Amino acid sequence: MNIRLHISTALACTAALFSSCDGYLDVEPKGRTQLETTDDYLGLLEEVSPNYDHANSLNICNEASWYKVEELKNYTSPLRSAGFLWNEDYDRAAVTINSSLYNNCYNRITNFNVIISNIHTAKGPDSDKALAMAQAKIMRAYNYFFLVNTFAKPYDPATADNTNGIIIREKMFESIEEKGVQQSVGYTYNFIQKDIDEAIADLPHTALNSFRPDKTFGYAFKAKVHLFKREIDECIAACLDALAEAPAGKHELWDMNDEYNRYSPQLLMAYGTDRAIDRPEFMGLNDAIESIWKNGVQKGYDAPENLLYQFGTTNNDPFPMYLTADVISLFDQQADLRMLYCLRYRRSHETAPEGDREFTSMGIRWNPSGMRLSEVYLMLAECYARKGSPADIAQAMNYLDIIRSRRNIRSRYTRLTTSDAAEALKFVREERKRELFFTYNGFFDLRRFCTEFNETLTKEFEGETYTLAPNSTLLTFPFPLKAMQTSDLKQNSK
């Protein structure tokens, strides 16, 4: 992996100078360091820890629980419990004093605006200026995408232009007194699309490392925004562009069978089984067997499948975190390698909800906040399922098979087949839950599907039934109080 370029303290201070009073800086900067060369500006593109804290959203989309069930029930961590128990009566805005996701995204946007506003004055090659401008715009768009899909209501083409969105800063501010303007959801999406379209041509075929955006990521992100806007044909076109570009970026899908074929014969020879099984005859062997899969199987930040790597709440996410039994039930227990490599065969804390299991892989970097090439195939499968003709449905199943054949043990793998458009979309949605669990996609998908299909969801927990309505306030996180106090924001949730 290439050595990452980090933002130096001096560069960070320069960027911070131009931050407004929108509530994401607690300390006003004292000084200013001059940015002079294109290398100085390129250093602003990448952080030491590109974190996107979306842990509480995983509880709302019923992917994550907690290792102490009593703490869930007793609201030890209120946002986690309110989300997990689907309690929209709880006043989340009152306890959301600050938000690291909100702060981090706007701090990054400030850095990107410094580049976009000033890179033309830098000393250095024009090619570096074009590169910095393109990567700053695509990453600015990416951070706005996170913000609008967290703190504003889900996109609905019929109401987006009249729905309050988020603050959009289109350029570097002239002073710290200048305030941002809260735009509509529709305006925000249009701004995101404009940034993407202006950036793609100058994105590199191969980025410096997986923390920098390349052209394949640009097309894939473009497709994702079209998908969220329900622009199906445009999404397909961008996905196909991403697949055509992927070889130049050295991107390819990870075939998990490679590791299985390497380690399974050794385990069968040594222990008579290749997996941890909760049966008496395997007691004492389970830890040894699991350690092979959880430590031996490696996929790092720079894995070819990663189009852009970004952290979750920490750089170790999602380890350790409990996946709910509802999501686990979607996996083929005998074939799916995502389970074998990443999840314990049973809960290790008896205080956790029964049936839930924890993500414990030490070798697989899960990329909780970035994008992987598998998403492109999933988007294509969804779009063709939505188009609904027999040929389109067959195409959707083909794209699903490309992913599933690389995620399941081939000798135990069964291809999905259907001629029904509704069932095809159901297959796609279930595969998204399997492939993208413990990433931000679970919550973002929950929002868009509930809104588009007017879905009311139910789940069982300790004998009680919980309901999530399609217009639930839980689908939108409240702005933090600090941002509300220092800006003209109108709250979008409670």
Chain segment 168-184, per-residue pLDDT in tens: 998 876 555 667 899 99
Q: Domain ends where: 357, 375, 408?
A: 357
Is residue 161 within 8 Å of 186, Cβ to Cβ?
Answer: yes
Beta bridge partner(s), residue 466: 459
Tell me the pTM.
0.93
Verify that 332 and 221 share a domain, yes or no: no
Verify that 222 and 259 share a domain, yes or no: no
Q: Is 460 helix (H, G, I), strand (E, B) or coil?
A: strand
Verify that 260 and 179 share a domain, yes or no: no
CA angle at 240 for the pair 236 and 246, rounded to the nearest 5°: 145
Report the pLDDT value the prediction gives residue 19, as an integer from 0 to 100: 43
Verify that 43 and 162 share a domain, yes or no: yes
Given a cut of 70, whether residue 11 has pLDDT beyond it is no
Domain extent for 335: 254-297+318-357
Verify that 186 and 46 share a domain, yes or no: yes
Is 96 inside any structural domain? yes
| Rounded distance between C-alpha atoms, residue 258 and residue 303, angstroms | 14
Q: In the numeric block, which tokens belong to residue 79?
A: 């946002």
Q: Could you tell me how far CA 449 lies from the centroid of its own chain?
A: 16
275 vs 257, 279, 339, CA distance in Å?
A: 15, 11, 10
| DSSP of 340-388 | HHHB-SS-S-TTSPTT-EEE--SSB---TTSEEHHHHHHHHHHHHHHH-
CATH number of the CATH domain containing 201: 1.25.40.390
Is 208 inside any structural domain? yes
Given a cut of 80, whether residue 1 has pLDDT beyond it is no
User: What is the enclosing helix (H) or strand (E) of 165?
Assistant: strand 164-168
Cβ count within 10 A of residue 165 = 24
Is 245 inside any structural domain? no
In our burial notation (b when 16+ CB lie closer than 10 A, e otherwise), range 335-374 reads bbbbbbbbbbbebeeeebbeebbbbbbeebbbbbbbbbbb
Please report the beta strands in 50-159, taking only residues with DSSP state E, as ranges in sequence order: none
Verify that 95 and 198 share a domain, yes or no: yes
* Residue-wise pLDDT tens digits, 66-76: 999 999 999 99
Verify that 152 and 186 share a domain, yes or no: yes
The gap between the terminal CA atoms of the chain, to the nearest Å, is 43
Is 425 inside any structural domain? no
| Rounded distance between C-alpha atoms, residue 378 and residue 338, angstroms | 16
* Residue-wise pLDDT tens digits, 217-273: 999 999 999 999 999 999 999 999 999 999 999 999 999 999 999 999 999 999 999
Band (24; pLDDT cuts 50, 70, 90)? very low
Count of the separate structural domains present in the chain: 2
| Rounded distance between C-alpha atoms, residue 393 and residue 456, angstroms | 26
